């Protein structure tokens, strides 16, 4: 794998990560992600082009607005770096394959949805619902070019299965999750199902495992109670990412213990 291509790939990931900061801030507020240009929320001064370089600009300005000196959260470069890390991880899993774009999209929209859910305890339809169509189109590429029609059909069934499972949980215990989680489950089911039924099962299980473990930890340290509302989307997304990377191996080992 050419180092030049990887560096260029990482640079693109950082730029898209910078745009995700805009998405994470504006989408929950119902604002356009295109206009107006990015500006300081304190003095309203527009961000100069030279101050919009991912990570580097924040370091050069020492985390402060050039015009008013107000602090700029370290979260901005962390989002950019996290997005780059996710993309590089997915590149390591899929290589330069035709299914890579589909999973890069999931990595990008998943990071945005996870942080929005942490901030607002909502998963906006503006990001979740179009992801069904995007997944259908992007996964169609490997289905056509690599003749993976069985995987494509399993992706559709996986999305339906995980959506139905979460919808049933919502009906049984409506206080346990929101309908946004149900809609996100359908998207994740498509991507996980494309990789295999075992990956789908592992991804779904890991979401509940991570959510349960962190919820218990928060109660132990007194940061949450039994009635506290904890956003579940981030754990679903992390579980799905882990399953994409290691899900088949985990499933194979589990099945191996049963034989």
Q: Are residues 116 and 231 in the same domain?
A: yes
DSSP 8-state class, residue 33: S
Query: What pTM value is reported for the model?
Result: 0.93
Say if residue 53 is in the same domain as residue 160.
no
User: How much of the chain exceeds pLDDT 90, in percent?
Assistant: 74
Tell me the per-residue pLDDT of 62-100, one tens digit each, with 9 for 90 and over: 889 888 888 989 999 999 999 999 999 999 999 999 999
Residue 154: is its pLDDT beyond 90? yes
User: Is 112 in the same domain as 216?
Assistant: yes
Structure confidence at residue 228 (pLDDT): 65
List of residues 6+ apart from 184 with CB closer than 8 A: 113, 123, 128, 233, 236, 237
- Residue that is last in its domain, among 59, 79, 96: 96
Q: Are residues 135 and 230 located together in one domain of the fold?
A: yes
Q: Are residues 147 and 228 in the same domain?
A: yes
- CA 66 to chain centroid: 31
Residue 159 zone, left/alpha/beta (φ > 0; ψ -120 to 50; rest): alpha
Q: Does the pLDDT at position 224 exceed 80?
A: no
| Same domain, yes or no: 59 and 102 | no
For residues 172 and 117, membership in a common domain is answered with yes
178 with 105, same domain: the answer is yes
On whether both 253 and 229 belong to a single domain, the answer is: yes
Which of 201, 198, 210 has its CA nearest to residue 239? 210
14 in the same domain as 124? no
pLDDT, tens digit, for every residue of 117-153? 999 999 999 999 999 999 999 999 999 999 999 999 9
- 52: pLDDT strictly greater than 80: yes
pLDDT at 223: 66
| CA 98 to chain CA mean position, Å | 20
**What was the pLDDT predicted at 159?**
98
Q: Are residues 170 and 247 in the same domain?
A: yes
Q: How confident is the model at residue 221 (pLDDT cuts 50, 70, 90)?
A: confident
198 and 255 part of one domain = yes
pLDDT digits (tens, 9 = 90+) for 178-195: 999 999 999 999 999 999
The beta strands (E) that lie in 94-213 are given as none
pLDDT at 41 over 90: no
Higher-confidence residue: 40 or 94? 94
Q: Which of the listed residues 96, 129, 163 is the one where a domain comes to its end?
A: 96
**Residue 248 pLDDT exceeds 90:** yes
pLDDT digits (tens, 9 = 90+) for 161-171: 999 999 999 99
Among 62, 78, 96, which residue terminates a domain? 96
Domain that holds residue 128: 97-259
pLDDT tens-digit readout, 97-120: 999 999 999 999 999 999 999 999
pLDDT value of position 226: 64
Q: How many domains does the chain have?
A: 2
- Beta-bridge partner residues of 64: 71
């Amino acid at each position: 794998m050419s180092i030049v291509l990887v560096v260029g790939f990482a640079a693109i990931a950082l730029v898209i990560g910078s745009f995700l900061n805009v998405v994470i801030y504006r989408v929950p507020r119902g604002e356009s992600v295109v206009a107006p240009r990015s500006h300081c929320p304190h003095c309203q001064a527009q961000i100069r082009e030279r101050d919009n370089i991912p990570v580097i600009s924040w370091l050069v300005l020492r985390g402060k607005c050039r015009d008013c000196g107000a602090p700029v959260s370290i979260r901005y470069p962390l989002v950019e770096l996290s997005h780059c890390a996710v993309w590089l991880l997915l590149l390591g899993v899929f290589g330069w394959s035709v299914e890579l774009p589909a999973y890069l999209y999931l990595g990008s929209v998943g990071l945005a949805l996870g942080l929005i859910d942490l901030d607002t305890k909502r998963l906006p339809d503006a990001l979740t619902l179009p992801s069904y169509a995007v997944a259908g189109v992007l996964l169609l590429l490997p289905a056509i070019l690599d003749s993976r029609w069985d995987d494509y059909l399993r992706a559709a069934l996986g999305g339906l299965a995980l959506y139905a499972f979460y919808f049933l949980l919502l009906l049984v215990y409506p206080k346990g999750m929101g309908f946004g989680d149900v809609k996100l489950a359908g998207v994740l089911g498509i991507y996980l199902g494309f990789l295999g039924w075992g990956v789908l099962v592992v991804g779904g299980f890991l979401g509940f495992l991570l959510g349960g473990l962190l919820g218990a930890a928060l109660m132990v340290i007194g940061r949450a109670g039994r009635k506290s509302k904890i956003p579940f989307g981030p754990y679903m997304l992390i579980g799905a990412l882990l399953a994409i990377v290691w899900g088949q191996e985990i499933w194979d080992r589990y099945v191996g213990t049963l034989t």
